[in-house]
Amino acid sequence: MEQHDTELEAFFDAGRAKAPIPSEALIARILADAEAERPLATEVQATKGWRFLGGFLADLGGWRAAAGMGFAGLIGLWVGYSTPAVLDPADAIFSGGYSYDVADLTLTADDFWGEG
């Protein structure tokens, strides 16, 4: 169901008919302000060499995402190099120094009832 409000439409029509025209002085001030805010060509040339790095960081999701990925990479290198004691069984499995049997992977009632 469509509603027509003729009185309201009359106000809108009057507003459209009398569109304000900016004065020449206002246009000159706006253009002068825009010219003052425009960056200098030397500033653009100084950052031209870093364009690849900026695009690469933007593709990764910004500098915060790149910093998080770098930190995760460093932690991965540290864990891989130092091999904490918690990872010794996994290290033994993958290096061939130790192997599990099917009985090691089977749960018994003692596993559920034991304390600890």
Query: b or e along 40-70 (b: 16 or more beta carbons within 10 Å of the residue's beta carbon)?
Result: eeeeeeeeeeeeeeeeebeeeeeeeebeeee
* Rounded CA separation 116/104 (Å): 18
Distances from the Cα of 49 to the Cαs of 43, 54, 55, 62, 70, in angstroms? 12, 10, 11, 18, 22
Q: What is the DSSP string of 23-61?
A: -HHHHHHHHHHHHHHSPPHHHHHHTGGGHHHHHHHHHHT
Quote the pLDDT of residue 81. Answer: 77
pLDDT of residue 106: 75
| Global confidence as pTM | 0.33
Phi-psi region of 39 (alpha: psi -120 to 50; beta: other; left: phi over 0): beta
- Alpha carbons 100 and 87: distance in angstroms, whole number: 15
The one-digit pLDDT tens for each residue of the chain (116 residues) are: 466 788 888 888 888 887 788 899 999 999 999 999 987 766 555 555 667 777 778 888 888 998 999 999 999 888 777 766 666 676 666 766 666 666 767 777 777 776 65
Spatial neighbors of 63 by CB under 8 A, at least 6 apart, are: 57
* pLDDT attached to residue 70: 92
